[in-house]
Amino acid sequence: GGGGGGGGGSDMMERHDGWDIPCTPLDASFVFLGTASMAPSTTRNVSGNAIRIGSEWIIVDCGEGTQHQINRSKVAPGSVQRIYITHLHGDHCFGLPGLMCKIGTSNIEAESSRIVHIVGPRGLRNMLRATLLTSSTFTPYRFRVDELWPTPNTDAGVEGGGGGAAVGGSGGVAKVGGYEHFSNVFTLPIHPSEIEGINITPDNDGHDANDGHDDGDDGHGHGGTWELPPHPNPVVSPVSDAWRVYAAPLSHTVDSVGYIFKERPHRGAMDAKAARPRLITDENKEFQRLVGIKNPMSLLGQLQRGQSVEIMENAQRITLHPSDFIGASKAGRVIAVLGDTCDSRALAGLAYGADLMVHEATNAALDEDEDEDEVIARTISHGHSTPTMAATFAACCGVHRLVLTHFSARYKGDESDESLAIMARISSQASEVLGGDEVMCARDLMEVSIPAKREYINCGSHTTMPTGSVVVQEAIERVERERSVRSVRSVRSVRSVR
């Protein structure tokens, strides 16, 4: 099954979530490698993203030409350890075989122990095997492909949805476009460089990705969420210990998911001045010597790592706990990267309070003679979103920063006055809903910093919605009642109220 990302501790370890994470968070940033939908233009490449956490690069989607974009960016190919694919439309995955060739290095010894972990919807494994085997392509490193599968009793439905309601679909049918999903029909032989992957279902690891809240079907045709396993080799991917990765289904014309990267809380600073006088007394020095500890000050390190320690004080054995000397933890960051979608509410609980949300905004009502409701209806019928839709969801999730991407070829991505004016209008449509200045329109090679949080939390707590996705669901439905989109009543993922 797809296990969680946290490591275990010994019986002596008094574990509080975040205390085994360093005080200083790793630097993080987000690079847009491609911001166009469907096909590249002269100013935008198709979808591709890169997340830098510390020295590791993580790729999310890899449309054709992504390796060219990497050449123009600061992404280090040899530092790519993980790749996540949101869905199997070509503008999000056709560049993956080429990228797998590019990220191999000439250091044979290092590559022999390297594992590239790839995650995506069902069918990704077959796609890669077919491409690499038929082209006689071999990688110097090993790779593992894990697939996201819906629960057996709630298969993805006609034309996908990744466990959620698909556009024009009817749940419970293991078919796509009238045919059985090809992943149920055939399996290609394993690639020589491949490690056997796993099929992850929303509940096959026993974890609840919503931190204790219901992640089952919400009554709107949305399936559960997935907690993804850590990197197969955490030694070369230390990010796996500090960040957990989740996925949730989105409504589109094929299986589509959004990925949520959640950083664990960072432990507070040790108050060594308070602990030192109690450790260096003659009474405790003698006690520690008898139990084999030459330097009582070494106990500070154990406290810092979350371990309780025993000392001798006033002729009594006293237990000192980490919470006595370690300050409040700092909350971890949350990054939400959504694939193509016209309804994202299954992801709401995981994305709540996100520091950065990357959301598609394929079409917008910009012409004077365009009716916004008609544009929304047309966009939804193709499984996509508008700036208003993206901002509505972001606002309901309490997102701190929203970056729009996946633009139609009509919207250029250069620095011309015309292009900048169009992007400003698109951004303003979202800002009117979301409020504030934290809305941006992505351009190719744009980098967004994701600074560490400054606020403190009680050790062991998480930043989550109090009631899972219910609050967001109700807020979205309220907006939908105010904006009745009558022409898309047949779209099951939107509940219009006349």
**Based on the domain organization, do 74 and 109 belong to the same domain?**
yes
**Based on the domain organization, do 246 and 346 belong to the same domain?**
yes
Give me the residue label for tokens 């199997």.
88
Which tokens sit at 164? 């959620």
**Based on the domain organization, do 309 and 417 belong to the same domain?**
no
**Based on the domain organization, do 301 and 340 belong to the same domain?**
no
The per-residue pLDDT for range 183-194, each reduced to its tens digit, is: 666 788 999 999
* Per-residue model confidence (pLDDT) at position 373: 85
Q: What is the CB-side half-sphere exposure of residue 23 using CA atoms within 13 A? A: 10
**Based on the domain organization, do 196 and 306 belong to the same domain?**
no
Measured CA to CA, the distance from residue 96 to residue 196 in angstroms comes to 18
Using DSSP, state whether 385 is helix, strand or coil: coil
State yes or no: pLDDT of 9 exceeds 50.
no
Measured CA to CA, the distance from residue 338 to residue 478 in angstroms comes to 22
**Based on the domain organization, do 121 and 241 belong to the same domain?**
yes
Using DSSP, state whether 35 is helix, strand or coil: coil
Q: Is residue 147 part of a domain?
A: yes
* Per-residue model confidence (pLDDT) at position 129: 96
**Based on the domain organization, do 255 and 371 belong to the same domain?**
yes
- Mean pLDDT in residue range 480-484: 51
Q: Is residue 214 part of a domain?
A: no
The per-residue pLDDT for range 340-363, each reduced to its tens digit, is: 999 998 999 999 999 999 999 998
User: Mean pLDDT, the chain, as a whole number?
Assistant: 79
Q: What share of the chain is helix, strand, coil (3-state, %, to 5)?
A: 25, 20, 50
Q: Is residue 177 part of a domain?
A: no
State yes or no: pLDDT of 418 exceeds 70.
yes
Q: Which of 450, 466, 493 is the last residue of a domain?
A: 450
Give the pTM. 0.78
Q: Is residue 490 part of a domain?
A: no
State yes or no: pLDDT of 369 exceeds 60.
yes
- Mean pLDDT in residue range 91-98: 96
- Rounded to the nearest 10 degrees, the angle between the axes of helix 470-482 and helix 387-396 is 140
The per-residue pLDDT for range 380-395, each reduced to its tens digit, is: 889 999 999 999 999 9
The per-residue pLDDT for range 202-235, each reduced to its tens digit, is: 864 434 444 433 444 433 334 589 999 988 886 6
SS3 sequence of 143-176: EEEEEECCCCCCCCCCCCCCCCCCCCCCCCCCEE
Which tokens sit at 147? 């697939």
Looking at 372-469, which runs of residues are DSSP E strands?
Answer: 402-405, 439-441, 447-449, 456-457
Non-local (6+) Cβ contacts of 301 within 8 A are none
Q: What is the DSSP letter of 202?
A: T
73, 174, 327, 353, 376 from 161: Cα distances, Å: 32, 11, 44, 24, 19
Tally the domains of the chain: 2
**Based on the domain organization, do 357 and 441 belong to the same domain?**
yes
Q: Is residue 456 part of a domain?
A: no
Q: Is residue 457 part of a domain?
A: no
The per-residue pLDDT for range 282-291, each reduced to its tens digit, is: 999 999 999 9
Q: Which of 303, 326, 349 is the last residue of a domain?
A: 326
**Based on the domain organization, do 319 and 334 belong to the same domain?**
no
Measured CA to CA, the distance from residue 63 to residue 337 in angstroms comes to 15
Q: Which of 450, 466, 484 is the last residue of a domain?
A: 450
Which tokens sit at 143? 């790779």
- Mean pLDDT in residue range 42-65: 94
**Based on the domain organization, do 230 and 319 belong to the same domain?**
no
Higher-confidence position of 44 and 467: 44
Measured CA to CA, the distance from residue 86 to residue 304 in angstroms comes to 39
Winning range, highest mean pLDDT, from 148-162, 334-348, 433-447: 334-348
Q: Is residue 366 part of a domain?
A: yes
**Based on the domain organization, do 40 and 67 belong to the same domain?**
yes
CATH number, domain of 105, equals: 3.60.15.10
Range of the domain at 294: 272-326
**Based on the domain organization, do 116 and 243 belong to the same domain?**
yes
Q: Is residue 474 part of a domain?
A: no
